[in-house]
Amino acid sequence: MLLGLGVVYDFPKYSIFQRGLIQVLNIKVEKAKELKQKPDFNNLGFGTDFTDHMFMMNYTEGQGWHDPRIVPYGPITLDPSAMVLHYAQEMFEGMKAYKTEDGRALLFRPEKNIQRTNVTNDRLCIPKINEEDMLQAIKALVSVEKDWIPTASGTSLYIRPFIFATDPFLGVRASATYLFMIILSPVGAYYKGGINPVKIWVETEYVRAVKGGVGYAKTGGNYAASIKAQMKAKERGYAQVLWLDGVERKYVEEVGTMNVFFKIDGEVITPALEGSILPGITRNSVIELLHSWGISVTERKLSIDEIYEAAEKGTLEEAYGTGTAAVISPIGQLNYNGKIITINDGKIGELSQRIYDTVTGIQTGAAEDSFNWTVEVE
């Protein structure tokens, strides 16, 4: 309920960036005495290595967000009754910093992650964060850890801002205290040696989210709830699940932790944002990119039956997930109730490849950024 405009499932239209209200944090920096041995940048995984420093800021009711600081990366201390451990009043974001050929550090549309933070915060009754403050915090930390941004093709520095409730209290209500943190992790290329379309399990038993719930927000609980279906798909030899809506159980929503696009008979279709789907920043970028190429994207309900009929008629041309981790993840095969269809002969589609090349080109500074999507960290 940002700005009293009703529930916002997509990014808010107005934000502090447009309004020019700028507040400047006074970030205290305490440098680590000893720096870690960096992992082999040619052999990085995802989310296992962390940099030398982290950002922290506290919230206290009546006082607001306070004590922004960059400190050596290390353990945090919580009371066992801290609300986050019981009621999961917690949110996170995920974004990346890329290094250009000439050594500059680029963020990709960070204002979108920051706006989405406040959409999530609003849904979970977590106090809003000043958008400029959050951008400054991200920039300051990435700047301190610039040497941690790997340079090989496809690699990046993953940025994880997150907030959680810290009141030592067992009643169910919004916490009066929170911790906002940012940690960084150098991550390897999602695709090692060519993009491989994946096999996807259409999930008919478990549901990710439903309108009226928290599906459009980046809450921790959404991910805990998704693990079971993901394991089920994996056990059956599928890379991920395609989620169907929780009401009619027939409209496609997301694929794993990505938004999903289908190209049917020349029309690019992605599910409309109606409350159960996370408004992905990659999704938004792909839509804008396609528009700029003169290709229109329809945001609407898309049933699994329509997809299967298109496959039968031979008009299902491409399908792919979109997200920060992979940018584009082509779908090579779907299994819906035992009926298997193969898309584009299990190969990446032409449009998928073009989107992938363009977005990653912009992110790494290799292609022209005509959208002004990148933000340099000094």
Ligand X SMILES: Cc1ncc(COP(=O)(O)O)c(C=O)c1O
Q: Does 226 bind a second copy (CB under 8 A)?
A: yes
Contact 89, 47 (CB under 8 A): no
Q: Does 71 bind a second copy (CB under 8 A)?
A: no
Stretches 154-162, 258-266, 286-294, 311-319: which one binds a second copy (CB under 8 A)?
154-162
Q: Does 123 bind ligand X (CB under 6 A)?
A: no
Partner from a second copy, ligand X, none binding residue 363, C-beta < 5-8 Å depending on class: none
- Of 219, 210, 226, 208, the C-alpha closest to 123 is 219
Stretches 74-82, 252-260, 307-315, 343-351: which one binds ligand X (CB under 6 A)?
252-260
Partner from ligand X, a second copy, none binding residue 281, C-beta < 5-8 Å depending on class: ligand X
Site residues for a second copy, 26-55, by CB under 8 A, read 46-48, 50, 54
Site residues for a second copy, 159-188, by CB under 8 A, read 160, 162, 164, 168-174, 181, 183, 185
Alpha-carbon dihedral of residues 356, 222, 119, 330, nearest 10 degrees? 10
> Of residues 323, 330, 332, 349, which one binds ligand X by CB under 6 A?
323
- For strand 297-300 and strand 316-323, is the pairing parallel, antiparallel, or unpaired? unpaired
In angstroms, give the least distance from the CB of 233 to ligand X: 15
- DSSP of 105-165: EEEESHHHHHHHHHHHHHHHTPPP--HHHHHHHHHHHHHHTGGGS--STT-EEEEEEEEEE
Q: Does 158 bind a second copy (CB under 8 A)?
A: yes
Give the position of tokens 């997200």: 323
Q: Does 205 bind a second copy (CB under 8 A)?
A: yes
Q: Does 281 bind ligand X (CB under 6 A)?
A: yes
Q: Is 5 exposed, middle or buried (0-12, 13-18, 19+ CB in 10 A)?
A: exposed
Q: Three-state SS for 279?
A: coil
- Of 244, 250, 236, the C-alpha closest to 309 is 250
CB of 52 or CB of 324, closer to ligand X: 324
- Of 288, 342, 32, the C-alpha closest to 280 is 288
Q: Does 363 bind ligand X (CB under 6 A)?
A: no
In angstroms, give the least distance from the CB of 7 to a second copy: 8
Q: Does 141 bind ligand X (CB under 6 A)?
A: no
Question: d(Cα 312, Cα 348) in Å, to the nearest integer?
Answer: 19
Instruction: Name beta bridge partners: 83.
Output: none
Question: d(Cα 141, Cα 155) in Å, to the nearest integer?
Answer: 18
> Of residues 68, 197, 280, 332, which one binds ligand X by CB under 6 A?
280
> Of residues 283, 331, 351, 360, which one binds ligand X by CB under 6 A?
283
In angstroms, give the least distance from the CB of 75 to a second copy: 5
Question: d(Cα 72, Cα 15) in Å, to the nearest integer?
Answer: 32
Contact 161, 113 (CB under 8 A): yes
User: Would you say how long the chain is, in residues?
Assistant: 378
Q: Does 228 bind a second copy (CB under 8 A)?
A: yes
In angstroms, give the least distance from the CB of 375 to ligand X: 15
Q: Does 246 bind ligand X (CB under 6 A)?
A: no
Partner from a second copy, ligand X, none binding residue 259, C-beta < 5-8 Å depending on class: ligand X
In angstroms, give the least distance from the CB of 2 to ligand X: 18
| Neighbouring residues of 61: CB distance < 8 A, sequence distance ≥ 6 | 176, 177
Written as six digits, the tokens of 259 are: 């938004």
> Of residues 324, 360, 364, 374, which one binds ligand X by CB under 6 A?
324
Give the position of tokens 């020349």: 266
CB of 66 or CB of 173, closer to a second copy: 173
For ligand X, the binding residues (CB under 6 A) are: 94, 254, 257-259, 278, 280-283, 322-324
User: What residues line the site for a second copy (CB under 8 A)?
Assistant: 7, 46-48, 50, 54, 73-81, 84-90, 92, 123-125, 158, 160, 162, 164, 168-174, 181, 183, 185, 205-214, 219-228, 230-231, 246-247, 249, 257
